Amino acid sequence: MNHLGTQTIETGRLILRKARPEDAQAMFGNWASDDRVTKFMTWQTYTKPEEAEWRIAYLLNEYANDNFYEWFIELKEIGQPIGSIGAVHVKDDVQLAHIGYCIGSKWWGQGIMPEALAAVIKFFFEQVGVNRVEACHDVDNPNSGKVMAKCGMTYEGTLRQSGWNNQGINDRAFYGILREEYYSNNH
């Protein structure tokens, strides 16, 4: 794999980019303090803006690593981030990137997350050279699976009581797409 770190990616409506210190208020207000967003996350709902500042400080430090990938999803029309997407795990031995994402509930159902995920999948296959991109979701959050399916990912199965989030122990549905599938569908 050709690790490049978090690079700016632009789509029709979005700029996927590194977090910046000045994004803390938007992060807090647009998604991190929203109980609807964090319901199926592994991190707690933020209750104070400083938590967003701390998270961004962590990200700024991690961006120095060329195998670290986390983007803030900036909606061009408002000029501020509305969510995030990144590689929760990168496994060099099997050339895999496991993706996680969230977006403010105000922007749900507008096709924004599929646009962001498709761009990240493209980046991982075409620039980093992974063999597999995968993601999973709590089975009680089927809309996340719909995002994965829209991006060409295949449902591969459900692992019972294999995950934990703010709802407790849960069953997780896994989706994946392989390099050969990506290229046969896109070229």
The full DSSP string for 92-113 is GGGTEEEEEEEE-GGGTTSSHH
Give the chain's mean pLDDT: 97
Q: Which domain holds residue 81?
A: 9-133
Q: Is 141 contained in some domain?
A: no
Helix 112-123 / helix 179-186 crossing angle, nearest 10 deg: 110
> pLDDT tens-digit profile of 83-93?
999 999 999 99
Is residue 105 included in any domain, yes or no? yes
What counts of helices (H) and strands (E) characterise the chain? 6, 8
Is residue 157 included in any domain, yes or no?
no
Give the per-residue pLDDT at 168: 96
pLDDT in tens, 1-14: 999 999 999 999 99
Task: Quickly state the pLDDT bin for 137 (edges 50, 70, 90).
Answer: very high
Q: Kindly state whether residue 170 falls inside one of the protein's structural domains.
A: no
* pLDDT of the residue at 187: 62
- Provide the number of structural domains found in the chain: 1
**80-91 and 70-75 strand pairing:** antiparallel
pLDDT exceeds 70 at position 33 = yes
Q: How far is CA 179 from CA 80, 116, 128, in A?
A: 32, 18, 11
What are 30's two structure tokens? 């647009």
| CATH number (domain holding residue 94) | 3.40.630.30
Rounded distance between C-alpha atoms, residue 48 and residue 118, angstroms: 32
Average pLDDT of the segment spanning 23-30: 98
Q: How many CA atoms lie within 13 A of 17 on its CB side?
A: 15
**Which amino acid is present at 129?**
G
- CA atoms 50, 83, 29, 88: torsion sign: negative
In-domain check, residue 68? yes
pLDDT tens, residue by residue, 163-177? 999 999 999 999 999
Residue 65 lies in a domain: yes
Distance CA(120)–CA(71), nearest Å, equals 9
Structure tokens, 71: 């983007």
The answer as to whether 180 is a domain residue is no
Residues 13/116, Cβ–Cβ less than 8 Å? no
Reference 6, options 82, 53, 80, 59; nearest CA is: 59
Q: Is residue 175 part of a domain?
A: no
